[in-house]
Structure 1
Amino acid sequence: MGALLAGRRSMRAALVFATAAVLSSCQTPDDITPESPVATCDGTMATGPQMITDPALYAFMSDFRLRSDAQIASGGSTISTYSPHHVALSLDLCLSGSPGLDGLISVATEIAHALKQHDLGSRTSALSIAYVGPNLSSRLEVRDANFHLHPWNGTPSPAEEARFWEVVPTTPN
């Protein structure tokens, strides 16, 4: 009986070790190395979907065609205060030039439209998108704290839709 128990313990230990080895060799979105050189926002920071810490947001943004004048600086999610089954998403974007609030809202609205049609959008309660970069004294951020309640499909009108965005007060860098 003792030999049988020892054999089972050895087998269990081997299975645990093999499972740990397999899991440690799996690549997550956090550690994916881009195939091409990483573009920079200000020459010092890496940009791209690989900078997103949430796997579902990473997958969405990897498939989303972000306009050519925008790059992802970072992104992630937190459990929503609305529901434990929902997430609050955040993205920091580098935008070329000085797009101002109107430019940020334009990019944020494009992302919100696509996100609403994606499975991740059905689990998103809030969406925050910020413009970060070297030509700002502080980040410029907009948030739709009620993303789950808004249609994000061009209705009632683009002008009304732009009002869904709340400008988030920030402190200087």
Structure 2
Amino acid sequence: MRVALPRRTPTSFGATIDPRERARRRSAKVVAALGTIAMLTGCRTIDDSGPVAWAPIEDCDGTMPTGPQMISDPSFSAFVSGLRLPQNVQVSSGGARVSTARPDQVDLTLDLCLPGSADLDGLVPVATDLARALKRHELGTRTAALSVACVGPDMQGRMEVRDPDFQVHPWDGTPSPAAESRVWEVFVE
């Protein structure tokens, strides 16, 4: 009578690995990879001990610091610092978190200070330009949702536009700029 023994896999040193040990090692690699992904997508705390990469720009209303350094995720901060925002637009804060809808992607949020603009007419064009730039950037390939809010001295509350399905929308001006502007979901507090 023959007894089937677990198949062992040879290693580079000539020893063999039991299938249960191979599965345990594979699980450990998956856990390590998921931890690395979480760190790279912004699921970590800010280290205030290091130097600030950018110098703050002037306060929006004299009560809050502004600039790309206010964004908690390093890759998102680097993306925003490379943008050519209109002269009066300032970054108030922002961040990235692992998307609950798509765990392999991130949800991005950005609060902008738009002095002199307290309505959608000022926010939507800036948010649309940002979405177009993000779509062409590497960070856009792993973005599930984008939220852009307007904060500042002229605001009575918080006004935000969201694209919860960023990967679905082309953000390239098609079918028309007007139709593209209607993609945004509007939230006002």
Q: What TM-score bracket applies, with the shorter chain setting the length?
A: 0.7 to 0.9
- Name structure 2 gaps, 5 residues minimum: 1-45
What amino acid does structure 1 have at the position aligned with 2:119?
A: G
Alpha-carbon separation, structure 2, partners of 1:59 and 1:50: 9
Q: Which has the higher helix share?
A: 1
Q: TM-score, normalised by structure 2?
A: 0.71
Aligned to 2:76: 57
Which one of the candidate residues 101, 105, 123 is aligned to 1:86? 105
Q: Secondary structure of 1:112's partner? A: helix
Judge conservation of contact 1:52–1:74 (CA < 8 Å) in 2: yes
Q: Output the aligned Cα RMSD.
A: 2.0
For each residue in 1:36-91, what CA deviation from the matched residue of structure 2 results, as whole angstroms up to 9, or x when unmatched?
Answer: 55310110100000000011100100111111110000000111122111000000
Matches within 5 A, 1:52-131: 52-131=71-150
- Name structure 1 gaps, 5 residues minimum: 1-26
Q: Secondary structure of 1:149's partner? A: coil
Percent sequence identity over matched residues?
54
Question: Structure 1 residues 156 and 35 mapped into 2: Cα distance closer, same or farther (>3 Å)?
Answer: closer
For each residue in 1:10-34, what CA deviation from the matched residue of structure 2 results, as whole angstroms up to 9, or x when unmatched?
Answer: xxxxxxxxxxxxxxxxx96995436
For each residue in 1:114-142, what CA deviation from the matched residue of structure 2 results, as whole angstroms up to 9, or x when unmatched?
Answer: 00000000100100000000121101110
Aligned to 2:176: 157
Question: Structure 1 residues 159 and 39 mapped into 2: Cα distance closer, same or farther (>3 Å)?
Answer: same
Alpha-carbon separation, structure 2, partners of 1:48 and 1:126: 22
Q: Secondary structure of 1:147's partner? A: coil
Query: How many pairs does the alignment contain?
Result: 144
Give structure 1 regions of 4+ aligned residues with deviation exceeding 2 angstroms: 27-38
Aligned to 1:7: none
Aligned to 2:11: none
Pair member with larger Rg: 2
Aligned to 1:3: none
